[in-house]
Structure 1
Amino acid sequence: MQAIICDDCAADRQLLIDYCARYGKENHLLIAAAGMENAGMLLRSRRSRNADVLFLDIYMEGASGIDAARILRGKGFRGAIVFTTTSREHYADGFDTDASHYLLKPVSWPSFCEAMRRVRTRLNVYDRTLHVTSERMALDIAVSGIQYIEVYGHKTILHTSKGDITVSQSLSSLEEALGGIPFLRCYRYFIINMDYVQKIMEDSFLMKDGRRIPMSRDRRAQLRSSYMSYIFQRMEGKRT
């Protein structure tokens, strides 16, 4: 596992580097950890784009950790992001970066272990593939890249980060194969990946690609509750 710690405080950087080493030793996991002093250094580094997890300090001189996370996500970074901060004030700002966790400074060993549990869960989920058939060809599609699925006419279409794929499976069979969270059947003809929701509207989900996906009218309250519960569980370390 490749971990990058970006923090303008040398002591805070070293603490997380030491925690990575301890965690790797206790869990028989090889973790290569490196420190960077600011967001500019992080964004210029090719190594950071290939990291499995980024620990980003929110409060840094120049660009903040959240600014850096947004830029990296915009460039396609799909690894885990853990923010470190002295305040809960900016928790909501990280929603659109798909943060795996927030760590309050000074970071304790138990809280670091919880963050790593969530990171490893995310990496395992994002290694999953969905087996589908498209134009009589068998394909394995990365679950992490599926933004939403729709039925249009007589076609089932997977909208992914790499383009659209028409498959032969029904929406119900795909729903079963995906196994629930973070996927949500929000309408008769749609399944969304909640990690790709930009904003929840009164009667729809606004996806990060700009598409508005409708909610079933008689299930709106339930769907809104399910989405908000997922967001809060994700931010508080209770994701299942």
Structure 2
Amino acid sequence: MPIQKSTMQRRWFLHMNIALVDDSAADRNSLKLYLHVYLKKHRITAELEEFTCAEEYLEAAQHRTFDVVFLDIYMKQKTGMDAARELFAAGSRTKLIFLSSSTDFLRQSYSVRAVYYLVKPIVPEEFEQAMQFLELQPDYAVPFLEIVQENVPRSIPTEKILYIDVQGHTTVIHTETECISLAVSFGKLTASLEADERFLPCIRGILVNMQHIQDMDGNLFRLSNGETLPINIRNKKKIGELWRTYLYDQMAKED
């Protein structure tokens, strides 16, 4: 029975919804500056939504999903800790970073599974560490494939690549949305991907991204978009074992 892959991918936030909950406009503006620099540096796009109190944020969270919330603790009426307890009790999967001018609630932050506790005024080193703890990007060896298309440099997210193959004297990158033909050798284009565990040479001249393999059907790999790719018959057993090992590793990471 084929092993299904569709539910085993680790989440990678290419675009995020981030909530900033703080009754101080100055503190929100300071945090936004840090975020803009970090997100641009790491090529992550985000929608930033500001809230001046916990009540406003909790109301909004009932109707839309936020990937990350920066939550000030000392606010009028409901505190950030109160709001965090409500989120925790509701089973929210939003990643939480507390903001506070003191460490009074540091120990309590563990009880609601906060990712980090930032003490104001925020310093760059602490902010960097908080963002690293969020694990917004996957631990891929090669997150982006750098190419030049019609004299224009491009960065292709490798997670979006289905496979790369050779067509005549052209190497083609097949992504979820487009096919990119390049006048460059297959070996040169794919050299950097050899260090990335996701990419598997299924037959000479074809490198497949195992993230997008749905199942193995005889001598074929069936991809998430319905396409099929041939498997080297001589090395079929080894190729199948490599794919299954990758799947099991991904399941273990999810757990």
Q: Computing the radius of gyration over CA atoms, which structure comes out larger, 1 or 2?
A: 2
The TM-score normalised by the length of structure 1 is 0.50
The TM-score normalised by the length of structure 2 is 0.47
